[in-house]
Amino acid sequence: MAAALAHLLLLLALAAYGPTYAGAAKMKVVEEPNTFGLNNPFLPQTSRLQPKRDPSPVSGPAHLFRLSGKCFSLVESTYKYEFCPFHNVTQHEQTFRWNAYSGILGIWHEWEIANNTFRGMWMRDGDSCHSRSRQSKVELTCGKSNRLAHVSEPSTCVYALTFETPLVCHPHSLLVYPALPTALQQRWDQVEQDLADELITSQGYEKLLRALFQDAGYLKTPEESESTQEGGAQGLVFETLDSCSKAHKELSKEIKRLQSVLTQHGIPYTKPVETSTSEHLGSKIPTDRTAEQLLGSPGLPGNTL
């Protein structure tokens, strides 16, 4: 009896409020998207982040492979940073602006190795930043849980990330030698023996180790890393005359392009004095005699290789 009375009162209340109340009861609350701008999930795929290349294969200590396929985020100020081990690093502006920034700060490239230890993960070939690509170095440190602990930008377009994980708390967890397959371990043993027997120089030792790490997939060869080399002081170091000449031609081409832009906008500039490649290099170009000295003189570092 009481239930029937309650139902009757409910019907009378709905009738009193009329169709407006009934329509309001059908309203649906739509949750707003949690990201905006270029990373808005409602935008077409072509408007989202577009990487320049695929990440390098997973490599390094096998116990870290379980991190592949996972992502870890950190919000600092108005930006959200995401680190996906062996994949990429991204940055997302957390605002409601229609053109909120989202970008790739680097794609998994190679390890940094020093003193038989994996020192960090290099993410290169990120979004363009002036005349270079953004890149990030991720340092792995011991922590109670997997988390992205810190992000900074020590220099323009170069980012430094600290990732904490219990997977690197063991003192031997980041050693290179145990991570190598048996064949490469034996090859390393032979290199150590040759150094001890003074069959190779310290420079030759470093070159052989680097080649070994490249064969293991931990480091990239100069050819593979060519597209990721950035400007600055490191860009002034060339291993061969051909690479130096190539860099000079590319710089000359870029200077002409910039001069054209300035001319189009009526901006005056001082035209540099034209010099040839040989004039730029000066006495650095080896002569036949210096070539013979490099190839044939005993006692020079690296001749034992």
C-alpha triplet 201, 214, 123: angle, nearest 5°: 120
- Sequence-distant (6+) residues with CB within 8 A of 136 are 89, 105, 106, 122, 123, 126, 158, 159, 160, 161
What pLDDT sits at residue 29? Answer: 34
* Backbone torsion region of residue 86, taken as left when φ is above 0, otherwise alpha when ψ lies between -120 and 50, otherwise beta: left
Please tell me the distance from the alpha carbon of residue 52 to that of residue 55, in angstroms, as a whole number: 9
Model confidence band, residue 21 (pLDDT cutoffs 50, 70, 90): very low
% of the chain surpassing 90 pLDDT: 49
Please tell me the distance from the alpha carbon of residue 181 to that of residue 174, in angstroms, as a whole number: 15
Please tell me the distance from the alpha carbon of residue 60 to that of residue 244, in angstroms, as a whole number: 32
Handedness of CA 203, 209, 210, 211 (dihedral sign): positive
- Sequence-distant (6+) residues with CB within 8 A of 202 are 195, 301
pLDDT tens digit sequence for 226-264 = 654 444 334 445 556 777 787 888 888 888 888 887 888
User: Which DSSP state fits 61?
Assistant: -
Q: What mean pLDDT comes out for the span 95-108?
A: 86
Please tell me the distance from the alpha carbon of residue 30 to that of residue 14, in angstroms, as a whole number: 25
Q: Which amino acid type is present at position 93?
A: E
Domain 49-174 has CATH 2.70.130.10: yes
What ranges do the domains of the chain cover?
49-174, 180-219
pLDDT tens digit sequence for 254-292 = 888 888 878 887 788 776 554 444 444 443 444 444 344
Helix axes 182-196, 202-216, angle to 10 degrees: 180
Choose between 121 and 227: higher pLDDT.
Answer: 121
pLDDT tens digit sequence for 193-228 = 999 999 999 999 999 999 999 999 999 988 776 654
What pLDDT sits at residue 179? Answer: 96
